[in-house]
C-alpha cells in the first residue's frame, strides 16, 4: 500500500495555525519519500539516527534544514556538526559542550533545544525541570559561543489519557515562560516549544507548541 505523502503533508499543514512549524519526521523512510515532501515545499525534516541522517543529507538538497530529534551520543556529534540545523534533543551538559566544540571547528553556530523529561516512561531521555533550571542558573552556557539555546523540546507520555498529555505539555509551557523571563527576555532566538507528534499534536497546539514533529501522519507506519 503506498502512502500519499503529498496529500498527507497538505492536510497536516492546513491544520497548523500561523506560528506553528512542521518538522517532518522522516526516520526509517527512504530519501525518495522525503523528496516528495520537499517538492511540495517542506524544508524541515527530523531524523533520530546519525548514520541514517548523514546518508540522507548527502543524497538530498542542501537547503533542507535537518533537525536531530533522537538521543545523540557525544561521539556522533562531529558527523552531523557540519550541516545540522538544530539538535532538539540536548539532554546533558556534556552533549551541549560537545555540540559547541564541534560547531566551533566547523565555524558554525548550531541551534539547540533542551529536552525535558516529563513523561512517566523511564525510557525517555531529558532534563527534569529542576535540572534544566540548574543548568541555566549555573550560567556557564553563556560561554558557549557556537551553540544557541532556542527553547525546549518534550515528548508527552504515550497514553490515551488526553488530560495527562495536556498536563505535561502545560508544565513544559510554564517552564518555558519561566526560563524565557529569567534568562532570555531580550533574546528573540529563545522562542521554540517543540511538542506534539502524530497522535497528540492537536493537543500540543492548544498547549502553546511552536514546532510539531510529525512522522506517521505524513509517511505512514514505520517498519523498523
Ligand atoms: C519518531 C518521533 C516523532 C514522530 O512520531 P510520530 O508518531 O510518527 O509522528 C516525534 N518526536 C520524536 C522525538 C520522535 O522520535
The residue whose CA has the least distance to atom 12 of ligand 1 is 69
Ligand 1 closest atom vs CA 153: 13
Q: Determine contact, residues 2/33, Cβ cutoff 8 Å.
A: no
The residue whose CA has the least distance to atom 11 of ligand 1 is 213
Strands 86-90 and 110-116: parallel
Q: Determine contact, residues 95/74, Cβ cutoff 8 Å.
A: yes
Pocket test for ligand 1, best of 26, 37, 46, 157 (most atoms within 8 A of CB): 46
CA 48 to ligand 1 centroid distance, Å: 9
Q: pLDDT tens digits, the chain, 224 residues: what are they?
A: 567 999 999 999 999 999 999 999 999 999 999 999 999 999 999 999 999 999 999 999 999 999 999 999 999 999 999 999 999 999 999 999 999 999 999 999 999 999 999 988 777 799 999 999 999 999 999 999 999 999 999 999 999 999 999 999 999 999 999 999 999 999 999 999 999 999 999 999 999 999 999 999 999 998 87
DSSP 8-state secondary structure symbol assigned to residue 78? H
Which residues contact residue 124 at a Cβ distance below 8 angstroms, ignoring those fewer than 6 apart?
117, 155
Give the angle 195-200-202 at the CA atoms, nearest 5°: 90
Instruction: Provide the H-helix boundaries in the chain.
Output: 5-14, 31-39, 50-59, 77-80, 93-105, 129-138, 162-183, 201-206, 216-219
Ligand 1 closest atom vs CA 89: 13
Q: What is the pLDDT of residue 124?
A: 76
Kindly list the protein residues whose Cβ atom lies closer than 6 A to any atom of ligand 1. Answer: 25, 27, 48, 69-70, 155, 197-199, 213-216
CA 122 to ligand 1 centroid distance, Å: 17
Domains, in order of start, for the chain:
2-217 (3.20.20.10)
Q: What is the pLDDT of residue 120?
A: 81
Q: What is the pTM of this model?
A: 0.97
Q: What is the pLDDT of residue 1?
A: 54
Amino acid at each position: 500500500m503506498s502512502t500519499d505523502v503529498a496529500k498527507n503533508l497538505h492536510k497536516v499543514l492546513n491544520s497548523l495555525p500561523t506560528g506553528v512549524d512542521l518538522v517532518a519526521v522522516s526516520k526509517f523512510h527512504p530519501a525518495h519519500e522525503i523528496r516528495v515532501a520537499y517538492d511540495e515545499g517542506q524544508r524541515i525534516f527530523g531524523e533520530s539516527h546519525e548514520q541514517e541522517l548523514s546518508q540522507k543529507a548527502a543524497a538530498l538538497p542542501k537547503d533542507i534544514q535537518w533537525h536531530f530529534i533522537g538521543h545523540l551520543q557525544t561521539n556522533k556529534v562531529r558527523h552531523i556538526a557540519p550541516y545540522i540545523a538544530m539538535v532538539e534533543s540536548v539532554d546533558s551538559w556534556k552533549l551541549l559542550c560537545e555540540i559547541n566544540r564541534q560547531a566551533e571547528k566547523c565555524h558554525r553556530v548550531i541551534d539547540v533545544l533542551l529536552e525535558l523529561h516529563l513523561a512517566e516512561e523511564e525510557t525517555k531521555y531529558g532534563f527534569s525541570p529542576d535540572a534544566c533550571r540548574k543548568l541555566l542558573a549555573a550560567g556557564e552556557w553563556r560561554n558557549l559561543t557556537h551553540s544557541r539555546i532556542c527553547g525546549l523540546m518534550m515528548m508527552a507520555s504515550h497514553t490515551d489519557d488526553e488530560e495527562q498529555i495536556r498536563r505535561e505539555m502545560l508544565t513544559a509551557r510554564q517552564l518555558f515562560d519561566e526560563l524565557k523571563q529569567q534568562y532570555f527576555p531580550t533574546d528573540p532566538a529563545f522562542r521554540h516549544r517543540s511538542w506534539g507528534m502524530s497522535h497528540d499534536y492537536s493537543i500540543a497546539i492548544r498547549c502553546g507548541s511552536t514546532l510539531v514533529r510529525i512522522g506517521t501522519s505524513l509517511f505512514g507506519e514505520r517498519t523498523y
